[in-house]
Amino acid sequence: MIWEDIMKTVAKALLGAVSMLAVTVAAPAMAEPKAEVLHYWTSGGEAKAVQALQEAFKARGGTWVDAPVAGGGGDAQAAVLRARVLAGDPPAAVQIKGPNIQEWAEAGALGDLNAVAEAQNWDKVLPETIQNIVKYDGQYVAVPVNVHRVDWIWANPEVLAKVGADVPTTWDEFNETAEKLKAAGIIPLAHGGQPWQDATVFETVVLGVGGIDFYQKALVDLDMEALGSDTMVKVFDQMRKMRGYVDPDFPGRDWNLATAMVMRGEAAMQIMGDWAKGEFAAAGLEPGKDYICASTPSDGGYLLNSDSFAMFNVSGDDNVEGQALLAELILGTDFQETFNLYKGSIPARTDVPRGEFDACAIKSMDDMVSAAEGGTLMGSMAHEIAQAGAIRGAFIDVVTAHFNSDMSSTEATEKLVKSIKLAM
Ligand code: GAL
């Protein structure tokens, strides 16, 4: 946690004792609203989604300064953000989420959005799970833009049909289907060999092979017994199998290029969050016809990832006006529909009409409600909801080291316990 401590200390010093600036509702603009927006949405579907926000902002007279940092999963952007804050030059709006929002708020870096939240009744339209992510000390310090689900299989039905298979509903079926595909010379699993992607697959295996209670104990509670258990050894056994289902060119591949392999029928399946659906949508492909979405095998689990924009304390009326306008636009019902149709996610607001959303989105909406009611709604570790910073880094380092070596499951499990202990 050393880096986080340095960041907090320096950020506090740089930002001084600045109390959270109240980002007021977009009153009649005294200044032309302006916003520099730091994000990492650069793939096909992502870019269309962020373009929708840019256009809505400009339509209201806003000047948008785009600050994209390519790199799925956001680790590259996080480094840029830290550098910008430490240089005393934070962007006005930044796509961050989960514990990172809490850490930046604790460092006094974020403005509070209560005025716009009250004007738009956020307490009424946001699920409690989402409120807990974007509030710090009871104040709204970020505006949520969506709910992504992580535990999805994206499958090409024509490729599966070549071996007479359907989308697997258990991990045993997954392995049987993958072995049949491999025997037929077909790539079972399209995968990008980047640490955050390895961690994405890992957490769906923890959820399904370990079970939901195990996921809670190991990845959320950081229970050392669970982390070092035989169940974790079994999870790494399955990860070893998954390694055998990817093609030789997987190292370093971007996630959306893996999605394209499924689209083109070069591979049968991808395990990825539903930002992958944004790629299918951008290619004009239909769920249920051109591709199939199915939750990865688990007992009613749902791995939640939610993107938000946090408004950093910046000076200048134009910037403060821009932040208020962005916050107002992002949670507007029309924008919530437009953005999430492009992004592959579902609205953060619960009152957006479902009419335009496809079967995959409807499944996500329904599954999220039943998971919340059944206590099986889990925050994603790989995507910085359940964990962030050094602890998430410790998980990812061990998982990717295991995936890219012949490390045994027992050794990986032992390394995981040691690394998490060190990171706490
Ligand atoms: C996630 C993010 C998604 C998507 C994905 C791939 O962490 O929440 O919105 O961008 O990374 O980059």
How does pLDDT run across 288-308, given as a tens digit for each residue? 999 999 999 999 999 999 999
Q: Looking at ligand 1, which atom is closest to the CA of residue 97?
A: 8
CA separation for the pair 251, 233 (Å, rounded): 24
* Whether residue 239 has pLDDT greater than 50: yes
CA of 230 to the centre of ligand 1 (A): 31
Q: Give all domains of the chain, ordered by start, each with its CATH number.
A: 4-147+306-364 (3.40.190.10), 152-304+376-423 (3.40.190.10)
CA of 199 to the centre of ligand 1 (A): 13
How high is the pLDDT of residue 112?
86
Indicate the pTM of the whole model.
0.93
Q: Could you tell which of 307, 309, 346 is best to mutate to test the pocket of ligand 1, judged by most ligand atoms within 8 Å of the CB?
A: 307
CA separation for the pair 155, 267 (Å, rounded): 9
Q: Looking at ligand 1, which atom is closest to the CA of residue 305?
A: 8
The model's pLDDT over 24-78, given as tens digits with 9 standing for 90+, comes to: 555 555 689 999 999 999 999 999 999 999 999 999 999 999 999 999 999 999 9
Q: Could you tell me what percent of the chain has a pLDDT over 70?
A: 93
As a whole number, mean pLDDT of residues 302-316 equals: 96
CA of 60 to the centre of ligand 1 (A): 27
Q: Hey, whose CA ends up nearest to atom 12 of ligand 1? A: 72
CA separation for the pair 358, 399 (Å, rounded): 33
CA separation for the pair 336, 326 (Å, rounded): 12
Cβ-based neighbours of 413, under 8 Å, separated by 6 or more: 227, 228, 229, 232, 233, 236
Give 18's pLDDT tier (boundaries 50, 70, 90).
very low
Give the phi and the psi of residue 221 in degrees, each rounded to 5. -80, -15
Tokens representing 365?
């909406």
Give 22's pLDDT tier (boundaries 50, 70, 90).
low
Tokens representing 380?
């994603």
Q: Could you tell which of 271, 275, 380 is best to mutate to test the pocket of ligand 1, judged by most ligand atoms within 8 Å of the CB?
A: 275
The residue among 182, 141, 133 whose CA lies nearest residue 159 is 182
Tokens representing 32?
């032309």
Q: Hey, whose CA ends up nearest to atom 8 of ligand 1? A: 307
Q: Could you tell which of 306, 383, 387, 396 is best to mutate to test the pocket of ligand 1, judged by most ligand atoms within 8 Å of the CB?
A: 383
Give 8's pLDDT tier (boundaries 50, 70, 90).
low
Ligand 1 binding pocket (C-beta < 6 A) is 40-41, 46, 72-74, 148, 255, 275, 305, 307, 383
CA separation for the pair 409, 347 (Å, rounded): 38
The residue among 145, 144, 65 whose CA lies nearest residue 342 is 145
Q: Looking at ligand 1, which atom is closest to the CA of residue 41?
A: 10
Q: Could you tell which of 305, 339, 396 is best to mutate to test the pocket of ligand 1, judged by most ligand atoms within 8 Å of the CB?
A: 305
Q: Hey, whose CA ends up nearest to atom 7 of ligand 1? A: 73
* Whether residue 20 has pLDDT greater than 80: no
Q: Hey, whose CA ends up nearest to atom 6 of ligand 1? A: 72
Cβ-based neighbours of 124, under 8 Å, separated by 6 or more: none
**With the C-alpha atoms ordered 135, 141, 144, 148, is the resulting torsion angle positive or negative?**
negative
